[in-house]
Amino acid sequence: MVFSCSFISEICVLSTFLQNSENTDIQKWLQNLKAYFFFVFFSFSGRRMFPVFKVSITGLDPNAMYTLLLDFAQVDNHRWKYVNGEWVAGGKAEPAAPNSVYIHPDSPNFGAHWMREPTSFSKVKLTNKLNGGGQIMLNSLHKYEPRLHIVKVSCRSDRKSVMTYSFVETQFIAVTAYQNEEITSLKIKHNPFAKAFLDAKER
C-alpha cells in the first residue's frame, strides 16, 4: 500500500492504492480537508458526516453490478478524553453499538457508474442514540474507522463477492462537542451545513 498526502491551500488529497484478492487493481482516492477526520461531530437527531467520505474507484468490471456499503468499526478498547490539549485513553470502552451499514443510494449499479466520478457518501448521518431512520449509531468519545464494502452482485446466481477496504488515515473520535478551537474553526469554515455558525461569528 502506498500512501501520499499533498496540500493545496487547506485541502488535503489522500491517495491509497491497493490490490484485491481477484488481482484487479482498484485505486481509491480519499479527497478531503487537512486534519481529515480525527474528530467527527454527531448528535441525538443525527448529523451528516463532515468531512464527507469520498472515494474514486477504478478496476471494476464496467458491465457488472455492484453495491457500495459503508460502516464504522470501533478500533480499540478505550474511551477517550481530552486532557491538557490532547486526547488520552480514559477508561474501558463501552460495548460496541449495534452494527449498522449505510447503503449508497445509487446501489446497485454498474461498475461503469461507480468509476465515472468520485463516489460521495454525503448523506450518511451519525447519531449517538438508536433511533432508526437509516442512521448509523456510534458511541461518543470512542475511536472509529470507516470501512468501504464493494459487493459484486451476480444476476445468474445468488452468489456475491465482497471486497472490504479500510483507511487508517480516516480514523476519528466521535464527539458531541469539539474540544479543539482550531478544528472547530476549520470545520465551520469548510462545512456547508455549518453556514449558520459562520454567519453568527461574522456578525
- Give whole-number Cα distances, 187 to 97, 123, 137, 152, 157, in Å: 26, 17, 21, 35, 45
Label residue 169 by pLDDT band (50, 70, 90): confident
Higher-confidence residue of 2 and 171: namely 171
Give pLDDT tens digits for 125-162: 888 877 666 788 888 889 989 899 999 987 666 667 88
pLDDT in tens, 92-103: 998 887 778 999
Model's pTM, two decimal places? 0.71
pLDDT tens digits for 19-29? 333 434 434 44
Mean pLDDT of 162-166: 86
DSSP secondary structure of 107-173: -SEEHHHHHHS-EE-TT-EEESS---TTPEE--TT-EEEEEEEEEEEPSSSS-EEEEEEE-GGG-EE
Confidence at 193, pLDDT banded by 50, 70, 90: low
Residue 167 and residue 51 in contact, taking contact as beta carbons nearer than 8 Å: no
Calculate mean pLDDT across residues 160-166: 84
Please state the CATH superfamily assignment of the domain spanning residues 14-200 in this structure.
Answer: Transcription factor, T-box (2.60.40.820)
State the pLDDT confidence band at 40, using cuts at 50, 70 and 90.
low
For the chain, the domains span: 14-200
Average pLDDT over residues 65-70: 93
